[in-house]
């Protein structure tokens, strides 16, 4: 958190935003169908703060210190993401500015990655943290496993992972289809693996499949790099990488 002058200008905030590194620019200058910002949440640590956006308002809380609200305004777009500019409802009606970068952010306490890097300028103060839904980084298209236990997994091995939004992971170990559950709390964990029982002709595929199933049981966390590589970690370090 940094203290800003009472007369913080929009230009100053945008200058800070424009200087930040970029992962990708997903905006074409128009809103997508539906309200993709309603329900958006962000937060940060030390100081602890939270932001929620609903269909009409921005709601900010600096835990145990103050809270502030402002009317929700339409988004503007920059090369780095999205900016909302409003004014708080009460008191001196100071600037209330929310900057959302399309850049993966790692929570400073849990280590969980989030899809957005968020900065909020409110009550003359600057707060930085993460926002969006962690699950959105995992769910969707299949991930192709590229390494296990430090060894390369060739594309021909056919190992793929698919996370759904209901807490299930499915995929192929190279010979057999499998399914398990997963949970996102302070990290990432998988339940017992259930698979088909097809016999593999290739002993190397059998070895890799057994290694995959064993590896999933040891996972405690994950990260996604800015170039889109998924890495799963056990207590002893990285154990699997995958790409889309």
Tens of pLDDT, residues 101-145: 999 999 998 889 999 999 999 999 999 999 999 999 999 999 999
Tens of pLDDT, residues 90-105: 777 889 999 999 999 9
Tens of pLDDT, residues 30-75: 344 578 899 999 999 999 999 999 999 999 999 999 999 999 999 9
Say how far apart CA 112 and CA 107 lie, in whole Å: 5
Indicate which CATH number applies to the domain containing 230: 2.40.128.270
What pLDDT score was predicted for residue 22? 34
State whether 125 and 208 are in the same domain.
no
What pLDDT score was predicted for residue 58? 98
Asked whether the whole model's pTM tops 0.95, one would answer no
CA distances from 152 to 146, 164, 211 (A): 6, 26, 12
Report residue 189 CA to chain centroid gap: 16
State whether 119 and 145 are in the same domain.
no
State whether 110 and 225 are in the same domain.
no
Structure tokens at 230: 């998924």
Given a cut of 70, is residue 229 above it in pLDDT?
A: yes
State whether 164 and 231 are in the same domain.
yes
SS3 114: strand
What pLDDT score was predicted for residue 23? 34
């Amino acid at each position: 958190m940094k203290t800003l002058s009472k007369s913080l200008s929009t230009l100053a905030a945008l200058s800070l935003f424009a200087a930040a590194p970029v992962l990708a620019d997903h905006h074409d200058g128009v809103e997508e169908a539906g309200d993709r910002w309603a329900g958006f949440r962000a937060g940060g640590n030390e100081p602890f703060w939270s932001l929620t956006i609903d269909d009409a308002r921005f709601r900010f809380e600096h835990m145990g210190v103050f809270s502030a609200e402002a009317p929700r305004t339409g988004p503007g777009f920059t090369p780095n993401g999205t900016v909302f500019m409003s004014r708080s409802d009460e008191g001196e009606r100071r600037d209330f500015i929310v900057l959302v970068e399309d850049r993966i952010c790692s929570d400073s306490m849990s280590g969980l990655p989030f899809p957005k890097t968020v900065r909020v300028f409110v009550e003359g103060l600057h707060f930085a943290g993460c926002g969006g839904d962690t699950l959105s980084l995992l769910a969707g298209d299949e991930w192709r496993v590229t390494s296990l236990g430090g060894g390369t997994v060739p594309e021909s091995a056919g190992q793929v992972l698919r996370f759904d939004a209901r807490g299930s992971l499915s995929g192929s170990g190279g010979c057999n289809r499998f399914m398990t559950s997963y949970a996102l709390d302070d990290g990432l964990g998988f339940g017992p693996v259930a698979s088909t029982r097809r016999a593999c002709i290739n002993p190397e595929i059998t070895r890799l499949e057994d290694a995959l199933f064993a590896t999933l049981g040891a996972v405690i966390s994950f990260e996604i790099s800015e170039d889109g590589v998924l890495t799963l970690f056990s207590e002893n370090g990285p154990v699997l990488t995958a790409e889309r």
